[in-house]
Amino acid sequence: MKTFFKILISVAILAIFGYTFFFLYQKSQAKTVIYQTSLPVMGTIIKKTVATGSVLPRKEIAIKPQVSGIIDELFTEPGMYVKKGDLIARVRIIPNMLNLSNAESRVKQARIALQAAQTEYDRMKDLYEKQVIPIVEFEPVEVALNRARQEMEAAEDNLQLIKEGQTKSTEGTTNTLIRSTIDGMVLDVPVEVGNSVIESNTFNDGTTIANIADMGDMIFEGKVDETEVGKIREGMELILTVGAIEEKNFRAVLEHISPKGIEENGAIQFKIKAAVSLQNDVFIRAGYSANADIVLDRADSVITIPESLLRFENDSVFVEVETQPQVFEKRFIKTGLSDGINIEIKEGLTLKDKIKDKEISESQV
């Protein structure tokens, strides 16, 4: 029995030594390295920079009242299309008590003056008809009566204007009816019926009753970093990606680059504006956030390869081209435009050349 165990232990030791020698031998053998190859392709290289911003109407108008008062009725709501002159709201005037008192006092004084002028006119007319006085004395009295009548009408119109915002002489014309000044869509109505509003004048901007914009003419407003602003110019093409509209891109043309930068978070930003080409089947809402890819340069229908395949030697660029299976030679090339991922090849490669790429294991072959 002891002999059996001795033999078993000896065999185990020999097996371990044998496996160790075999493992070390395998490790000492050079591995066969296999490389994947890639072919150049025809493509388009677009060099671009990105600007963030939003899409806004080019023309947006805030409708404000010309009289102070209370919103009596609203005729529109957000989303409605209106034409120039359409009613937006009606304002009920709450007259200023001081102005109202002064206007009522003026009417009373004008009435007293008219009564006095009428009495004097009747007396002088009777004397003139009896030929007691000449016409030169009667005419000034008649003029005074006409002036008194005119003053009475003006005082009554002023009182009515303060109370109602219109006069008999103006008929349908009134400042209490607020109308649209442009054709467009109502974006917002920030007031409700019963809200007090302040008139727009030289001392006050006034209360906004509605915001109206032409949604058929949209622009992109964004900001570009100072490191990129020197590379762009008016007339450049922009490709807009609107976050709220998936799988849709919009074309825009750069119209304006601000001559003055604004500091934001320690960096200088320059505002830009671009005219957006709208699509009939897509409605863009005002204020959508968007990213604009500004095309700095492009090369169409050129030979391209991934930029990661390039190798560098001093000031030269080369790739390794397969001449025989897994045999590669160095070939110097001339490159062109790059988008950061792919690069244009101007000289040195054809579409049939296989370029050395990443290493792969034998199990993947």
- Mean per-residue pLDDT, 127-145: 81
Closest by CA to 292, choosing from 336, 241, 255, is: 241
pLDDT the model gives residue 20: 73
**Weakest mean pLDDT among 86-100, 195-209, 212-226, 277-291:** 86-100
- For the chain, the residue count is 365
pLDDT the model gives residue 150: 87
- The pTM (predicted TM-score) of the whole model is 0.61
- Composition of the chain by helix, strand, coil, percent to 5: 25, 40, 30
pLDDT the model gives residue 102: 79
Beta strands of 117-248 (E only): which ranges? 177-179, 184-188, 196-197, 210-213, 218-225, 237-242
Q: Which domains does the chain have, with CATH numbers?
A: 34-45+300-364 (2.40.420.20), 49-57+215-298 (2.40.30.170), 61-93+172-213 (2.40.50.100), 97-164 (1.10.287.470)
Closest by CA to 51, choosing from 209, 256, 216, 215, is: 256
Q: How many CB atoms lie within 10 A of CB 316?
A: 11
Q: How many CB atoms lie within 10 A of CB 279?
A: 13
**Which residues sit opposite 249 in a β-bridge?**
241
d(CA 251, CA 233): 16
Q: 358 and 36 in contact (C-beta within 8 Å)? A: yes
pLDDT tens, residue by residue, 84-114: 999 999 888 776 666 767 777 887 888 888 8
| DSSP per position, 245-263 | STT-EEEEEEEEEEEEEEE
Helix 97-129 with 135-164: angle, nearest 10 deg: 160
User: How does residue 62 score in pLDDT terms, banded at 50, 70 and 90?
Assistant: very high
d(CA 55, CA 273): 10
Q: 274 and 219 in contact (C-beta within 8 Å)? A: yes
Task: For residue 135, give Cα distances in angstroms to 82, 126, 142, 143.
Answer: 62, 12, 10, 12
Q: 297 and 32 in contact (C-beta within 8 Å)? A: no
pLDDT tens, residue by residue, 138-164: 788 888 888 888 888 887 777 776 666
- Mean per-residue pLDDT, 193-214: 88
Q: What percent of the chain has pLDDT over 70?
A: 85
Looking at this protein, which amino acid is placed at residue 43? Answer: G
Report the run of H or E that residue 302 belongs to, with start and end.
strand 288-306
User: How does residue 168 score in pLDDT terms, banded at 50, 70 and 90?
Assistant: low
| DSSP per position, 205-228 | -----EEEE-TTSEEEEEEEEHHH
CA dihedral 324, 329, 335, 337 (to 10 degrees): 50
Q: What is the mean pLDDT of the chain?
A: 83
Maximum mean pLDDT: which of 141-145, 224-228, 256-260, 326-330: 256-260
- Mean per-residue pLDDT, 123-134: 80
